[in-house]
């Protein structure tokens, strides 16, 4: 999606949600969603289509809808949605964030049980009033209750990608103030979610830095503004802490505020054992307070007799012992990645043509890219029928034969794993693909044994190359399905199935802990983006963040190999 179109897509979907909740009309919500999908798939900004008048000719965008888009893009507001919003209780839309709850359900909860907020829904579940609705039952009520818990537990943290976006913009805003500044904290450690953003700036003029900081346009509340520390809240609800430090303390401060807290505690204890003292200003000699190190992190680690420890490893998971023994892994990094094999195109639910995906992969210097559109039973994604799949294989053969590109294009598929573990295409067709990613997108709530069996059956198919987003979780909205990681990892090793590290920002699946687990089982990995637009190939950095937090080296991943080696692995 062209990123500038995001607000229009959200707007159209919100209109559809409200119309569906209030149930005034069956067809208009469908029309708005259809228009939203069209806008989402546009290669250029909506304003370009408004400018040349072609907006009215887009599929699904009739006069009524295009009028509203014009008003919204032109003025930043839309009367119609304001009215719609006023027509329902303000707490109602939040219910849509629950995994088990769509607009129809919200509508019924509102009309039939007069529920208007998350709190009221929770109470209604506790009092077993929800199960009394026609077609709901005990199971549904339990699942709604679980998703409330899940939503509440995760909604105060933010996606790493959101943190990156905001930190980059904020650092740009501050860029004139100092040549030395960085985002520290969990963002720098690349945790999957962040609680807030911590920024360190070197400056001898803290006042002007703080003035500039609180003038950031997105600030909604200034909590505190001092000489060395200020804190603000942004409109998104994200808090930012900024600290100004002296140049000779930059390393010590960065180290301290990068954390993790547990890593810091271990470091401090190590320092004490050596007759030293470590704090956010410096590493000093105890007793005399003589300055030992502090200008850079490396200086501090050096002085403590440690290898430099990458921020992703600073979680008190044995990294300090490994650094003392000189045994830290050389972590996998951006330059090691030779290709990306989980990519969707406009043949299914992606919004870029195959050629744009290839261009973007070439731009990144890859040796290969794999196209893996959805398979036939996935109706909502327009999964490819057998015939369409055949056609795509032919198309990609042609592209490779054309000699137009330096990199090789692989034709794969992201194939549905059916509830019984069977794959969505028959083996004849699977055998004609370069590789097969098997993914679970349905029946997430199977019992543990059943789900484990489902995954093992899928992996026992010799054509399965990769287990896609192995846990199915979506951060903040859906937890992992339950399965035995032990058994799945053992089978992956035996059957030589690669485990995906999916870098799609709301997936990050496998996560760091499971990567560490799987690596103990000698599994091999592949880092992918699951891109649905050519710009999303840049999400490889998130797959890398998880892999690095999981202590992986280039050797642990298949797609660090050149084309011919990679082919051998997936053969």
Residue 482 has, within 13 A of its CA and on its CB side, a CA count of 6
Which residues neighbour 315 within 8 Å (Cβ) at sequence distance 6 or greater? 189, 260, 262, 263, 549
Binding mask 211-250 toward ligand DGT (x if CB under 6 A, else -) reads ----------------------------------------
Q: 16 vs 240, which CB is nearer to ligand DGT?
A: 240
- Please provide the distance, in angstroms rounded to a whole number, between the alpha carbons at the two ends of the chain: 33
- In the bound complex, what is the minimum distance in angstroms from residue 442's beta carbon to Zn ion? 11
Question: Among Zn ion, Ca ion, ligand DGT, none, what does residue 325 contact (CB within 5–8 Å per kind)?
Answer: none
Q: Quick check: 510 and 541 in contact, CB under 8 A?
A: no
Residue holding tokens 């049980």? 113
| Per CB under 6 A, 266 contacts ligand DGT | no
In this complex, which beta carbon is closest to ligand DGT, that of residue 472 or of residue 476?
476
Nearer Cβ to Ca ion, position 196 or 280? 196
Compute how many other C-beta atoms are within 10 angstroms of the C-beta atom of residue 565: 12
Interacting span for ligand DGT (CB under 6 A) from 174-182, 192-200, 419-427, 494-502: 192-200
Q: Give the shortest CB-414-to-Zn ion separation in angstroms.
A: 5
> Which residue is nearest to ligand DGT, using beta carbons?
259
At its nearest, how many Å lie between Ca ion and the CB of residue 224?
12
Residue of 94, 196, 218, 359 interacting with Ca ion (CB under 5 A): 196
Q: Which two tokens stand for residue 179?
A: 């040549």
**Nearest-CA neighbor of 61 among 41, 76, 78, 43?**
41
Residues in binding contact with ligand DGT, number by CB under 6 A = 14
- By the 10 Å C-beta count (0-12 exposed, 13-18 middle, 19+ buried), 334 is classed as exposed
Report d(CA 218, CA 198) in Å as an integer.
16
Q: H/E/C letters for each residue in 14-81?
A: HHHHHHHHHCCCCHHHHHHHHHHHHHHCCCCCHHHHHHCCHHHHCCCCCHHHHHHHHHHHHHCCCHHH
Of 197-205, 383-391, 472-480, 555-563, which segment contacts Ca ion by CB under 5 A?
Answer: 197-205
In terms of CB distance, is 70 or 418 closer to Zn ion? 418
Interface with ligand DGT, residue 194, by CB under 6 A? yes
Residue ranges in 241-300 that form contacts with Zn ion under rule CB under 5 A = none
Extended strands (E) in 226-349: 229-234, 239-245, 276-278, 283-285, 291-293, 339-340
Q: Which is nearer to Zn ion, 162 or 507 (CB)?
A: 507
One of 110, 257, 368, 551 touching ligand DGT (CB under 6 A): 257
Residue from the set 2, 17, 198, 299 that interacts with Ca ion by CB under 5 A: 198
Map the footprint of ligand DGT across residues 475-504, applying CB under 6 A. Answer: none
Rg of the chain on CA atoms, in Å: 26
Judged by DSSP in three states, 108 sits in: helix
- Write phi, then psi, for 550 (nearest 5 degrees): -90, 15
Q: Does 185 bind Ca ion (CB under 5 A)?
A: yes
Neighbours of 570 (CB within 10 A): 21
Q: Which residue in the set 111, 168, 265, 325 belongs to the binding site for ligand DGT (CB under 6 A)?
A: 265
Asked if 259 touches ligand DGT (CB under 6 A), the answer is yes
Contact in structure between 559 and 524 (CB atoms under 8 Å)? no
Do residues 253 and 200 touch, judged by C-beta distance below 8 A?
A: yes
Contact letters (x/-) for Ca ion, 202-241, by CB under 5 A? ---------------------------------------x
Longest dimension (CA), the chain: 79
CB contact at 8 A, 348 and 384:
yes
Instruction: Considering only the stretches 132-140, 182-190, 372-380, 423-431, report the one whose residues sit in contact with Ca ion under the rule CB under 5 A.
Output: 182-190
Q: Pull the structure tokens for residue 125.
A: 């579940």
Instruction: Please report whether residue 92 would count as binding ligand DGT according to CB under 6 A.
Output: no
DSSP H or E segment with residue 134: none
Which listed option, Zn ion, ligand DGT, Ca ion, none, makes contact with residue 257 (CB within 5 to 8 Å by class)? Answer: ligand DGT
Instruction: Check binding of 196 to ligand DGT (CB under 6 A).
Output: yes
- Extract the runs of DSSP E, i.e. beta strands, from 406-532: 408-416, 435-439, 466-467, 498-502, 525-528
Q: In the complex, what is the shortest distance from the CB of residue 184 to ligand DGT, in angstroms, rounded to a whole number?
A: 7
Among 439, 452, 511, 561, binds Zn ion (CB under 5 A): 439
Task: Report the partner that residue 264 touches, choosing among ligand DGT, Zn ion, Ca ion, none (CB closer than 5 to 8 A by kind).
Answer: ligand DGT
CB 489 within 8 A of CB 518: yes
> What's the rounded Cα separation, in Å, for the pair 568 and 60?
46
Contact letters (x/-) for Zn ion, 389-428, by CB under 5 A? Answer: ----------------------------------------
439 contact, one of ligand DGT, Ca ion, Zn ion, none, CB 5-8 Å limit per kind = Zn ion
Instruction: Check residue 186 for interaction with ligand DGT (CB under 6 A).
Output: yes
Report in angstroms how near the CB of residue 340 gets to ligand DGT at its nearest.
Answer: 28
Residues found near ligand DGT in the complex (CB under 6 A): 185-186, 191, 194-196, 198, 256-257, 259-261, 264-265
Residues found near Zn ion in the complex (CB under 5 A): 439
Residues found near Ca ion in the complex (CB under 5 A): 185-186, 196, 198, 241
């Amino acid at each position: 999606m062209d990123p500038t179109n995001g607000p229009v897509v959200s707007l159209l979907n919100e209109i559809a949600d409200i119309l569906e909740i209030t149930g005034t009309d069956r067809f208009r919500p469908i029309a708005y969603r259809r228009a939203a999908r069209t806008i989402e798939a546009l290669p250029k900004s909506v304003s370009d289509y408004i400018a040349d008048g072609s907006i009215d000719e887009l599929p699904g965008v009739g006069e009524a809808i295009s009028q509203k888009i014009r008003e919204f893009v032109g003025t930043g507001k839309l009367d119609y949605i304001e009215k719609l919003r006023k027509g329902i209780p303000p707490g109602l839309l939040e219910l849509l964030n629950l995994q088990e709850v769509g607009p129809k359900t919200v509508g019924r909860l509102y009309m039939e049980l007069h529920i208007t907020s998350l709190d009221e829904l929770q109470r209604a579940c506790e009092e077993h009033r929800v199960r009394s609705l026609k077609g709901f039952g005990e199971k549904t009520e339990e699942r709604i209750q679980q998703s409330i818990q899940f939503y509440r537990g995760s909604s105060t943290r933010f996606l790493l990608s959101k943190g990156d976006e905001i930190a980059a913009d904020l650092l740009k805003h501050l860029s004139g103030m100092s040549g030395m500044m960085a985002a520290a904290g969990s963002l720098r450690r690349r945790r999957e979610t962040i609680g807030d953003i911590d920024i360190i700036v070197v400056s001898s003029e803290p006042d002007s830095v703080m003035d500039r900081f609180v003038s950031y346009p997105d600030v909604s509340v200034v909590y505190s503004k001092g000489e060395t520390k200020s804190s603000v809240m942004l409109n998104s609800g994200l808090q930012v802490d900024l600290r100004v430090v002296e140049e000779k303390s930059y390393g010590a401060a960065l180290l301290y505020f990068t954390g993790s807290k547990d890593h810091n505690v271990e470091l401090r204890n190590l320092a004490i054992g050596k007759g030293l003292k470590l704090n956010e200003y410096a590493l000093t000699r105890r007793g005399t307070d003589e300055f030992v190190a502090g200008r850079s992190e490396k200086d501090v680690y050096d002085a403590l007799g440690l290898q430099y420890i990458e921020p992703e490893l600073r979680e008190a998971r044995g990294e300090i012992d490994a650094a003392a023994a000189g045994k830290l892994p050389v972590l996998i990094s951006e330059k090691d990645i030779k290709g990306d094999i989980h990519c969707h195109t406009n043949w299914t639910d992606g919004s870029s043509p195959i050629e744009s995906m290839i261009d973007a992969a070439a731009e990144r210097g890859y040796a290969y890219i794999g196209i893996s559109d959805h398979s036939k039973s996935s109706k909502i994604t327009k999964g490819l029928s057998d015939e369409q799949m055949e056609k795509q294989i032919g198309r990609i053969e042609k592209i490779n034969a054309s000699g137009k590109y330096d990199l090789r294009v692989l034709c794969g598929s992201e194939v549905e794993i059916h509830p019984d573990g069977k794959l969505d295409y028959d083996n004849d067709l699977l055998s004609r693909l370069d590789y097969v990613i098997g993914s679970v997108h349905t029946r997430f709530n199977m019992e543990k044994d059943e789900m484990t069996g489902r995954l093992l059956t899928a992996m026992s198919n010799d054509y399965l190359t990769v287990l896609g987003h192995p846990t199915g979780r979506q951060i903040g909205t859906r937890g992992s399905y339950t399965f035995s990681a032990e058994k799945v990892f053992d089978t992956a090793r035996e059957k030589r199935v690669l485990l995906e590290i999916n870098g799609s920002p709301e997936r990050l699946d496998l996560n760091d802990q499971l990567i560490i687990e799987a690596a103990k089982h000698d599994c091999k990995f592949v880092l992918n983006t699951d891109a649905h637009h050519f710009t999303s190939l840049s999400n490889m950095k998130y797959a890398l963040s998880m892999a690095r937090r999981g202590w992986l080296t280039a050797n642990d991943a298949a797609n660090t190999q050149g084309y011919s080696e990679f082919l051998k692995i997936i053969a």
